[in-house]
């Protein structure tokens, strides 16, 4: 089976991380699946390669290039057809595929999470487009605390690692050179450029109070996947995007979440509604079960 994960997201590393998370779940399942990630060009595309996940990037194309009259000449269309998937998994960005989704000779799965309702009815300069649930074989909501304007199957949030896959505290601290009794904080931001520096203005006091703070930004290297070292830290300070938030909640970390504005996502709402929610399992495994069922 050939499975292609597509994300058109450009803000932060989370869109690529979701694809890696599914690749990891495929490995855990022992499934014979030829898996690849297709993403718009992003400074975080290299992260997939670091974990051995094949990735191809295409430029972000506008509504004209992806419209009904020209979509078959687009980079996105050619990349999907070149991969020739049996199953196409779409991370939110349904609108980019709208003109040709019905023509694709494969099964389709849409993953949705907390977004504003207007996300499913968009007005572009060229035309108005409205999401058609019937274009997809499975519609899967991967986050609690929000409603969709169409019925969805629900799974727990998708996380890059399972709980038993990360280093224990002693190994993680030793790997980072942290003392056994040292108060340690992970300060990790992989959203839009500059957000980490903005957040640091509110948390630099931690160093004055004696915390050892490790700052990680995958644009400039950093730890990846940072959750592998989570048990080294007594505290996490991170953004409130989907992956960062649910990694901390699933892995039980004491954390401060710093929400930033996004066009269709309300990160402050995620924190307010889901701060006490602890996922019972990794939704990536359930999504892979669904894919295999197709």
Distance from C-alpha of 179 to C-alpha of 130, rounded to nearest angstrom: 55
- In this prediction, residue 127 carries a pLDDT of 84
- In this prediction, residue 124 carries a pLDDT of 79
Q: What is the pLDDT along the chain (294 residues), one digit of tens a residue?
A: 999 999 998 777 889 999 999 999 999 999 999 999 999 999 999 999 999 999 999 999 999 999 999 999 999 999 999 999 999 999 999 999 999 999 999 999 999 999 988 899 988 777 889 999 999 999 999 999 899 999 999 999 999 999 999 999 999 999 999 999 999 999 999 998 999 999 999 999 999 999 999 999 998 789 999 999 999 999 999 999 999 999 999 999 999 999 999 988 999 999 999 999 999 999 999 999 999 999
Q: Are residue 228 and residue 155 in the same domain, yes or no?
A: no
CATH of residue 119's domain is: 3.40.50.2000
- In this prediction, residue 96 carries a pLDDT of 96
Identify the domain containing residue 118 by its residue range. 2-159+282-293
Residue 255 CB burial class (10 angstroms; 0-12, 13-18, ≥19): buried
Q: Are residue 7 and residue 153 in the same domain, yes or no?
A: yes
Q: Are residue 153 and residue 210 in the same domain, yes or no?
A: no
Q: Are residue 45 and residue 67 in the same domain, yes or no?
A: yes
Distance from C-alpha of 213 to C-alpha of 203, rounded to nearest angstrom: 10
Q: pLDDT digits over 201-221, tens only?
A: 999 999 999 999 999 999 878
Distance from C-alpha of 49 to C-alpha of 63, rounded to nearest angstrom: 29
pTM for the predicted model, two decimal places: 0.95
Q: Are residue 191 and residue 235 in the same domain, yes or no?
A: yes
End-to-end CA distance of the chain: 10
CB atoms within 10 A of CB 252: 11
User: Could you tell me if 193 and 219 are in contact, meaning their C-beta atoms sit under 8 angstroms apart?
Assistant: yes
Q: Are residue 25 and residue 140 in the same domain, yes or no?
A: yes
Q: Are residue 232 and residue 206 in the same domain, yes or no?
A: yes
Residue 277 CB burial class (10 angstroms; 0-12, 13-18, ≥19): middle
Please give the tally of structural domains in the chain: 2
H runs (alpha helix) in the chain: 14-29, 46-50, 75-83, 169-176, 195-203, 205-208, 242-250, 267-274, 283-293
SS3 253: coil
Q: Are residue 60 and residue 91 in the same domain, yes or no?
A: yes
Residue listed under structure tokens 């108060």: 183
User: Could you tell me if 119 and 139 are in contact, meaning their C-beta atoms sit under 8 angstroms apart?
Assistant: no
- In this prediction, residue 123 carries a pLDDT of 81
- In this prediction, residue 157 carries a pLDDT of 98
């Amino acid at each position: 089976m050939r499975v292609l994960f597509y994300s058109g997201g450009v803000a932060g590393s989370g869109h690529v991380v979701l694809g890696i998370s599914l690749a990891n779940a495929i490995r855990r399942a022992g499934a014979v699946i030829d898996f690849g990630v297709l993403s718009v060009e992003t400074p975080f595309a290299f992260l997939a390669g670091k974990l051995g996940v094949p990735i191809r990037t295409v430029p972000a194309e506008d509504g004209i290039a992806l419209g009904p009259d020209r979509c078959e000449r687009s980079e996105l269309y050619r990349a999907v057809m070149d991969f020739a998937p049996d199953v196409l998994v779409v991370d939110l960005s349904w609108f980019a595929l709208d003109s040709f989704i019905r023509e694709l000779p494969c099964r389709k799965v849409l993953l949705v999470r907390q977004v504003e309702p207007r996300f499913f009815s968009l007005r572009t300069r060229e035309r108005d487009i409205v999401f058609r649930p019937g274009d997809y074989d499975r519609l899967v909501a991967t986050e609690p605390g929000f409603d969709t304007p169409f019925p969805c199957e629900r799974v727990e949030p998708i996380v890059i690692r399972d709980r038993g896959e990360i280093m224990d505290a002693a190994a993680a601290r030793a790997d980072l050179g942290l003392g056994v009794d040292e108060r340690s904080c992970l300060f990790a931001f992989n959203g839009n450029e500059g957000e980490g520096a903005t957040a640091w203005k509110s948390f630099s006091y931690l160093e004055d109070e004696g915390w050892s703070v490790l700052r990680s930004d995958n644009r400039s290297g950093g730890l990846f996947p940072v959750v592998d070292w989570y048990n080294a830290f007594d505290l996490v300070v991170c953004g409130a995007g989907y992956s960062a938030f649910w990694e901390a909640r699933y892995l039980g970390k004491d954390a401060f979440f710093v929400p930033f504005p996004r066009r269709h996502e309300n990160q402050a709402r995620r924190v307010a509604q889901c701060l006490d929610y602890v996922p019972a399992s990794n939704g990536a495994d359930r999504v892979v079960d669904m894919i295999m069922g197709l």
